[in-house]
Structure 1
Amino acid sequence: MLKINLVLGLALLSACAGNPSKQATAGKERDTLNKMVLIPAGSFLMGADDSTGMADEYPKHRVDIASFWMDEHEVTKAEFARFVDATGYVTTAEQPIGKAELMASLPPGTPEPDSATLATMMAPGALVFTPPDHAVPFNDISQWWSFVPGTSWKHPEGPSSNIANRDHEPVTQVSWLDAQAYAKWAGKRLPTEAEWEYAARGGLSGQLYPWGNEPLTTGKAKANTWNGNFPYKNTKTDGYYSTAPVKSYSPNGYQLYDMAGNVWEWCEDWYDANYYIQGEKGVKNPAGPAEGLDPDDPGQAKRVIRGGSYMCSDEYCRGYRVSARMKSTPESGLSNLGFRCVRSAN
């Protein structure tokens, strides 16, 4: 069973308050963070550009976006470490879950697990990509995901792993709550889903990817994705098996890096599979639905994640398309999930 590590969002968001000396240090640290790129105001058609999209990517609809600043690349492990050092922040994955909270997160009527299973599920940790050595059905994600106690942003592949010499790789195993806390400390925020897609398109109209319509496998490597047969064989044609250092591939038209592949990125919005159908057309700066609704898992409200990851491929997950939508619970930490920040221009 996949663990959902629940914590109080308010406590997490206020954890960066710290003491005055730490706040002074934080100000200096923020000055050396991710360079930001000014994204010009404009209008675009949001949603799938051809018939390959999923149902939640239709209908295509016009959206107007005000100008904003966006991090040129995903927040790195080194940048997140500065935040933690400056504030003493403790991430979701590093905190144990209470029994009452755990049971509340499970489907109604679920019997209480035995004591050994319960102890494992309540321990601090996160989900780790644990690929098999053979082909498996794509309808059972437990074939390649495992909850591993002791996993965190400092130990992203499990307690025996670390982040030494990986400063320039995107931080992973961070929840939406963790991303929010970092953004608040940095004087930024998470992008709305509409801002994210508009920025990912890089000024192109009606194109499938941040670089245009050229297939991912044609020409030089364009993004860090899965090459070979998912999930058991990665030929590393793009140069990497898992996360790549940021800025390893060419930027899009707005000079943003890794808007496709590498790691999924948290957005501000709740996820609603029917939002495009029900939403107001021609809206300016949409903030997303008021609450989350995932028909595949109605008991868990989720936040939007965008951009695909190193685990995406044509045969399994084409999440690197600019219109592709995915979702995850706000408390989730994953091996292939990170974030980048934005700031309003006005």
Structure 2
Amino acid sequence: MKKISLYILVALLVYSCGSNDQGELVGVRSKSTWHTKKPLGMVLIPGGSFTMGKEDEDVAASLNTPTRTVTVRPYYMDETEITNAEYKEFVYWVRDSIVRTQLALLSELMSEDANKVLENYQFKNVDTTKMTPYQKYMMNNYGSLGDVNSPLQGRALNWDEDLIWDPNDFPDEYYSEVMDTMYVPIEDSFDGKRILDTKKLKYKYSWLDRSSAARKKGARKDFIKQEIVEIYPDTTVWVKDFNYSYNDPMHQDYFYHQAYNEYPVVGVTWSQAKAFCSWRTKKKNDFLHSRKNPSSVPAFRLATEAEWEYAARGGLEYSTYPWGGPYTTTDRGCFLANFKPSRGNYAVDGALYTVEAKSYNPNDYGLYNMAGNVSEWTNTAYSEASYYISSTMNPNVEMPKNHRKIIRGGSWKDVAYFLQVSTRDYEYADSARSYIGFRTVQDFLGTNINGE
């Protein structure tokens, strides 16, 4: 007991002698200076108060958008809708991860003599000589470095070796066997072509339902949700959305061909948009951790309905459209957005379908196509009573069992009414449409209303 007391006394003396706070309460200070970093392709929305809802006539007589003053915190938002090229990166990462995992697992089952080719795709084992004591403890007790549900068990996929996609160049039968599982069955092929089975492309992730955990009693594990999502966009929407209409070229080429790389991705459900947000967060955090940076970025997510409308207004009060005026054309007759004008003359605004994500003039926050082009998923569930029951500070009505999700901004096939910044619309979460896309937001760390 005396020895323990002596240790405590020594610790107190060391702390007192080593600090220069002169015994005053100064708080915990970080050793390094922290500065926020704007994510690539995003703009800072400073946050503040605005009048949300219909200030003029409610043409649809829906009575679900009464005006009220709402305040939102600062956040970053993508300056454009997520493009085909950006979403393809997600698709390719999922595809390659599945293939590399299967190659590595098959390699483990094979003998050394038969494993000459696949050994290049084996898992990267953790270097035990460089393990920290904590890592050794985790591996010995959990067989993992953190994710006990991971089939990799502390190992990493080998991304150094390129994958071979041309069947004529497959190195051996074992490699061919793995690749064969990624394509549609031979009886579903024609013209001698095997195409990728997009239903195999599934992304698995976990998330903590913090809102429910904060309001209900229970173990933390009870609020951890697991999602498995088929992430390939539904390209058939170009056909299914329009009866008796020839849209096969869009069906075949819109997501596939590089000519449409900078166009907004469509045919994604609300769940797929959420999965993309999870992957984008993982991508950034994995990079930081690879650089021995222990910090993590705030999660990318879909905007709430209030955040979306605040950003669309661009700091302008009582504006009808993101550009401020009550008209959809300039004084010279040039259209300000991509929609369905002039009694259905789709092409008169410069585009028959969608346009490139960075088209027309941005609003005063630097955001493109907050009106028209494609409608955008938000994180908010649709309820006629939302504006009456939700808070006026960072309002959001989630309602997990409500599958109607708010979409905003109107699209290339909508009339001008749906382009108005205060117009509400919804679609079912499991629906994919040729006129619905999304953009992401990220919380700004801090509360300074000017974002400084």
Using the size of structure 1 for normalisation, the TM-score is 0.66
Deviations 1:186-210 (A, max 9, x none): 1211101110000000000011000
The one of 272, 287, 292 aligned to 2:396 = 287
**Cα distance in structure 1, aligned partners of 2:383 and 2:270:** 16
Contact 1:74 1:338 in 2 (8 A): yes
1:60-71 pair list within 5 angstroms: 60-71=67-78
CA shift in 2, pair 1:328/1:56, >3 Å: farther
**Residue 439 of structure 2 is aligned to residue 340 of structure 1:** yes
The one of 339, 343, 347 aligned to 1:229 = 343
The one of 235, 244, 251 aligned to 2:362 = 251
CA shift for structure 1 position 125: 5.2
CA shift for structure 1 position 57: 4.2
Give the corresponding residue for 1:306: 408
Contact 1:172 1:336 in 2 (8 A): yes
CA shift for structure 1 position 275: 1.2
After superposition, the CA RMSD in angstroms is 3.1
CA shift for structure 1 position 87: 2.1
1:1-346 pair list within 5 angstroms: 35-54=41-60, 55-88=62-95, 94-95=198-199, 128-129=237-238, 145-146=242-243, 157-159=250-252, 162-187=256-281, 188-219=300-331, 220-230=334-344, 233-234=345-346, 236-280=347-391, 283-291=392-400, 301-314=403-416, 318-346=417-445
Give SS of 1:189's match: strand
Deviations 1:212-251 (A, max 9, x none): 1231134322111113333xx42x2221010000121100
Aligned length: 255
CA shift for structure 1 position 292: 6.2
**Cα distance in structure 1, aligned partners of 2:393 and 2:419:** 25
Amino acid at match of 1:42: G
State which structure, 1 or 2, has the greater radius of gyration over its C-alpha atoms. Answer: 2
CA shift for structure 1 position 330: 1.0
Amino acid at match of 2:307: E
**Cα distance in structure 2, aligned partners of 1:329 and 1:94:** 22
Give SS of 2:44's match: strand
CA shift in 2, pair 1:303/1:34, >3 Å: farther
**Cα distance in structure 1, aligned partners of 2:234 and 2:362:** 34
Percent identity reads 36
**Cα distance in structure 2, aligned partners of 1:127 and 1:288:** 31
**Cα distance in structure 2, aligned partners of 1:64 and 1:79:** 31
Contact 1:34 1:72 in 2 (8 A): no
Amino acid at match of 1:247: K
Deviations 1:96-146 (A, max 9, x none): 9xxxxxxxxxxxxxxxxxxxxxxxxxxx9566356xxxxxxxxxxx9x635
Give SS of 1:194's match: helix
Higher relative contact order (CA 8 A, sep 6+): 1
**Cα distance in structure 2, aligned partners of 1:189 and 1:156:** 32
